[in-house]
Structure 1
């Protein structure tokens, strides 16, 4: 019975992680209410999930806002670019549908092209913010790297798209799930993303004690 009240037992450890994910999800939702901040908020979400929830390093609020601040500029610019491109794609789709409704055969070709481009954008979007949280890149390098990784690891990208869609549907059906779904979805995806990231990160030479560096990302 005494083991139950031990703060290091499995029950309290799991409950602690659940609370951290709830807190993290709430912070992400609040930051994302300002739409242009969705990018840096998502970057910080991934960074904190991997470092705090999985690696048990640091504290949720501190690590989240550390990453949020570090990636605010580039994350915001990236978000704006995606919003602008999405709006252009919406206009193109509307135009294509009008052409199709008017009986013009090339309308179907335009819609097919729209679907293909939109799919690629979604796949790039899946990786862009996790990559931003881990690697130091300029804007061009960020998009280029995200595209290459998304296409090179297509099965993983497709599986993550399905996972994100499932969580999105869950929130749509059960709205209160928004208070844990963002962090939980990010946690599930991180098991797929981290396997990919390790292919692009040089293996540390020595232990943390030997290098004097915090190697939390390599565990």
Structure 2
């Protein structure tokens, strides 16, 4: 079996290091490129034409390529020969379903990357897609009064950003829709997370879905 060329993309050095070590130990894969942003990622794909891409879902984007679903859709359209394994901190079933509909080879929760990446690489080396086990739901505050109090502290712009985020839009998508800069939207999202006392995107999505504050 010939080696499959691999490009990895993530803006977290620790994740990149772990992926690099895993791939370099696997005789079926050859690491040919790494990227820390969507622009770098597209450059690496153009340069190396790999068979496999392992990428974070939320990459630092730009106006050309964006991140999230926009970036994945661009890659599928312009690099149809590459298999895509998506890493994500989110468990939003709408987003995961959309990724699979687009044709990605698999989706892995970052919280399970150590346990699942080896299984995914094995499946892909044998020309099979990879189906990861469902991630357990993260518990959220269930007291309606506490939830209402927390959401009442959000500004209208923060609520608007959260509504679009929970609907499956990336920060880049939201910035374009609201005609704001990516930095502004990211700041508003982080501020909302701090007010709601959630630590990551997965918890934020779970919290908002359970609370259903946008009805």
What TM-score, normalized to structure 1?
0.27
Could you say which structure has the higher helix fraction? 1
What TM-score, normalized to structure 2?
0.27
Computing the radius of gyration from Cα coordinates, the structure with the larger value is: 1
Could you say which structure has the higher strand fraction? 2
Higher relative contact order (CA 8 A, sep 6+): 1
